[in-house]
Amino acid sequence: MAGIRSPIAVVVGHVDVGKTLLLDKIRGTAVAYREPGMITQHIGMSFVPWGAVERFAGPLVDRLRLRGRIWIPGFLFIDTPGHAAFSNLRKRGGSVADVAVLVVDITSGLEEQGLESLNLIRARGVPFVIAANKLDRIYGWQSEENRPFLFAVERQEWHAVAQLEEQIGRLIDQLSRLGIEADRYDRVRDFATQVPIVPTSAVTGEGVADLLLVLAGVSQRFVSKERLTVRDGPARGVVMEVKEERGLGTVADVIIYDGVLRRGDTVVTAGLQGPITAKVKMLIVPKPLDEMRDPEDRYKYVDEVRAAVGVRIVGEGLEGVVPGAPIVAVEGSLEEAVKAVGEEIAAVKIESDKEGVVAKADTFGTLESMVLFLRQSNIPVRRADVGPPSHKDVVEAALSRRRDPAYGAILAFNVRVPPEVEKEAQSSGVKIVRGEILYKVVDEYLRWANELKAKALEAALSQLVRPGVVQLLPGYVFRRRDPVIVGVRVVKGTIKPGYLLVRQDGREVGKIQQIQSHGAPVQEAKVGDEVAISIAGDVMVGRQIKEGDFLYVYVPEDHLKQWLLQYRQYLRGDEREALDEYAQIRKNWRK
């Protein structure tokens, strides 16, 4: 018995844009407008039946000419909004989510995590709509509970509409810079190339009808019937959460997107060490609201579930299962199922001997999006795995560090770091960056790496003798022989105590002992400075050197090469001139 299932929908976006409230509103609508006895609760998902949407959206269904044209049974909304849940909805080559709602705050546009979500949505090829939420915050906007946006906008004062248009225009510009064409949904001419923007308010419920109708249209158009067809075969799904339940032991909350799962089935899923086999002892689903007698009496046991469904599995061997892991029921050979799952999770991990950072995350889903994000940020990854940082991770990071100190880092997302690993990392000079928000972890790493690079550069540069040319000022000879003390003007470049000075023809003059400016010693003098210097060397002013002569800082050959080939950009303009002049006169010395 094959049938069409509801598309699985996920809500993502930056923190505080109103994802939770919007989902609550949608779920509340489903409950309020459902047919009696209809189940709307799943484990981890809520069913929003099309019938309920139609009753709720009323006249807008006709206005958009959708009546009788919708064949999806409704939506299955993932109950947990946000990046982490979406990450865990992974499956090979894409997402278990069929469609996504990207929520942005209409007053502030797309923010960092929204951008991160957008990247993930695009990387996984999920069709999406944008909810421009907090419509009620538009200055002068007159709200009316649950009114469709299309009707609401017609009743507004011109200045409120102008405000709205300005905000939407900004959002459109922002998206266009990211290569995404978007428009207010009622102006979209081609849904294949333009992303619809639906203004909503999770507080007043305005635009929620529009959002659901547009989502239905996009689902029917861009999610294939083939993808939504449920077969009778063994269940295929993804693990969303694993926890201990009193009296039940370890339970796994999973989303089954295809096939049938039965009590007694053997399933293959995955943990930190690889594939895990478990036997399904019980299947638990929430009771329909009408059957619930009291809040404690929330669940019931069933013998089988059919996709798409959210279900809690009680089973032996589920300990150690990691969220984001695939789960398949075994119908033929167990070995084949184990192999398939093994291959799928291997595709998420990285094990290489190339230089790059070590990435660790709490689930297969977050790990996959982390690697994706690192790639987009041009940060190479040497190793990626699920679980807390370990001894092996420190060893790998230390190996990477030997080739490039900036890659001696472990990026730990949503995992705790064992104290002994922390200590080991510290003593091997390995940096551990941890956090609960992906872009922040990456930002912090980049900041650290850049600082490290800047310091390394500074250290390298401080080792090099800088080029410089001075002229002996006529009338300022304070001492004629060793140590010579003369007044000079720095013509180009820099001089420092310790630098050796030579004549234009290469003859050695002596080492600068001290530099004095206005009677006080200084650590360097730069182009334009007039200072007194003492030179220790076997020369006499009036013999080997004369007033008015130009003297050059002797730059050792390997320093010269480094300046010319590697660090030229870090010299001032006058230093570059001094360097070129020095390189030029030097050629004649060899003759």
> Could you list the active site residues?
83
Of 88 and 204, nearer to ligand GDP (C-beta) is 204
Say whether residue 16 binds ligand GDP (CB under 6 A).
yes
Residue 376's contacts (CB-CB under 8 Å, 6 or more residues apart) are 119
Say whether residue 298 binds ligand GDP (CB under 6 A).
no
Show the site string, 93-132: x = touches ligand GDP by CB under 6 A, - = not: ----------------------------------------
CA distance 518 to 17: 62
Exposed e or buried b for every residue in 243-259, given b needs 16+ CB within 10 A? eeeeeeebbbbbbbbbb
Residue 144's identity, in one-letter code, is E
Query: Considering only 196-204, 322-330, 346-354, 374-382, which stretch makes contact with ligand GDP by CB under 6 A?
Result: 196-204
Of 15 and 334, nearer to ligand GDP (C-beta) is 15
Residue 450 assigned ligand-binding role: no
Say whether residue 302 binds ligand GDP (CB under 6 A).
no
Of 136 and 575, nearer to ligand GDP (C-beta) is 136
| In the complex, least distance from residue 128 CB atom to ligand GDP, rounded to whole angstroms | 16
Residue nearest to ligand GDP (CB): 18
| In the complex, least distance from residue 159 CB atom to ligand GDP, rounded to whole angstroms | 19
Contact (CB, 8 A) for 267 and 283:
no
Query: Considering only 15-23, 175-183, 316-324, 464-472, which stretch makes contact with ligand GDP by CB under 6 A?
Result: 15-23
Q: Which of 49, 73, 81, 310 binds ligand GDP (CB under 6 A)?
A: 81
CA distance 107 to 19: 15
Say whether residue 310 binds ligand GDP (CB under 6 A).
no
**Site size for ligand GDP (CB under 6 A):** 16
| In the complex, least distance from residue 163 CB atom to ligand GDP, rounded to whole angstroms | 14
Say whether residue 167 binds ligand GDP (CB under 6 A).
no
| In the complex, least distance from residue 87 CB atom to ligand GDP, rounded to whole angstroms | 16
CA distance 584 to 587: 6
Residue 14 assigned ligand-binding role: yes
Q: Which of 134, 147, 434, 466 binds ligand GDP (CB under 6 A)?
A: 134
Say whether residue 201 binds ligand GDP (CB under 6 A).
yes
| In the complex, least distance from residue 349 CB atom to ligand GDP, rounded to whole angstroms | 31
Of 17 and 532, nearer to ligand GDP (C-beta) is 17
Residue 342 assigned ligand-binding role: no
CA distance 193 to 25: 29
Of 254, 260, 227, 256, the C-alpha closest to 241 is 254
CA distance 271 to 379: 27
Say whether residue 20 binds ligand GDP (CB under 6 A).
yes
Contact (CB, 8 A) for 182 and 197:
yes
CA-based Rg of the chain, rounded to a whole angstrom?
35
Of 111 and 508, nearer to ligand GDP (C-beta) is 111
Query: Considering only 18-26, 156-164, 426-434, 454-462, which stretch makes contact with ligand GDP by CB under 6 A?
Result: 18-26
Ramachandran bin of 241, using left for φ above 0, alpha for ψ from -120 to 50, beta for the remaining angles:
beta
The angle at the Cα of 221, spanning 64 to 112, to the nearest 5 degrees, equals: 90
Say whether residue 437 binds ligand GDP (CB under 6 A).
no
Say whether residue 21 binds ligand GDP (CB under 6 A).
yes
Query: Considering only 14-22, 163-171, 219-227, 301-309, which stretch makes contact with ligand GDP by CB under 6 A?
Result: 14-22
Q: Which of 29, 87, 117, 133 binds ligand GDP (CB under 6 A)?
A: 133
Three-state DSSP class for residue 351: strand
Residue 83 assigned ligand-binding role: yes
Say whether residue 205 binds ligand GDP (CB under 6 A).
no
Helix axes 364-376, 112-123, angle to 10 degrees: 100
User: 471: part of which helix (H) or strand (E)?
Assistant: strand 468-479
Bridge pairing between strands 381-386 and 357-361: parallel
Contact (CB, 8 A) for 261 and 329:
yes
Say whether residue 79 binds ligand GDP (CB under 6 A).
no
In the 8-state DSSP scheme, what is residue 393? H
CA distance 282 to 233: 19
Residue 146 assigned ligand-binding role: no
Say whether residue 15 binds ligand GDP (CB under 6 A).
yes
Contact (CB, 8 A) for 272 and 367:
no
CA distance 399 to 1: 56
| In the complex, least distance from residue 18 CB atom to ligand GDP, rounded to whole angstroms | 3
Helix axes 208-222, 19-33, angle to 10 degrees: 90
Residue 339 assigned ligand-binding role: no
Of 95 and 133, nearer to ligand GDP (C-beta) is 133
Q: Which of 8, 9, 17, 276 binds ligand GDP (CB under 6 A)?
A: 17
Query: Considering only 195-203, 254-262, 316-324, 429-437, which stretch makes contact with ligand GDP by CB under 6 A?
Result: 195-203
The angle at the Cα of 125, spanning 196 to 356, to the nearest 5 degrees, equals: 125
Say whether residue 203 binds ligand GDP (CB under 6 A).
yes
Q: Which of 9, 10, 12, 18 binds ligand GDP (CB under 6 A)?
A: 18
Residue 128's identity, in one-letter code, is F
CA distance 320 to 318: 6
Bridge pairing between strands 530-536 and 74-78: unpaired
Of 9 and 278, nearer to ligand GDP (C-beta) is 9
Residue 522 assigned ligand-binding role: no
Query: Considering only 197-205, 414-422, 490-498, 573-581, which stretch makes contact with ligand GDP by CB under 6 A?
Result: 197-205
Of 503, 499, 472, 505, the C-alpha closest to 555 is 499
CA distance 447 to 441: 10
Residue 134 assigned ligand-binding role: yes
Bridge pairing between strands 266-271 and 520-521: unpaired
Exposed e or buried b for every residue in 220-235, given b needs 16+ CB within 10 A? bebbeeeebebeeebb
Q: Record the tokens describing residue 12, joined without a space.
A: 């993502």
Question: Where do we find the tokens 């090469």?
Answer: 561
Of 145 and 505, nearer to ligand GDP (C-beta) is 145
| In the complex, least distance from residue 25 CB atom to ligand GDP, rounded to whole angstroms | 9
Residue 18 assigned ligand-binding role: yes
Q: Which chain residues interact with ligand GDP by CB under 6 A?
A: 13, 15-21, 81, 133-134, 136-137, 201-203
Q: Which residues are part of a known binding site?
A: 13-20, 79-83, 133-136
Q: Which residues are part of a known binding site for GTP?
A: 13-20, 79-83, 133-136
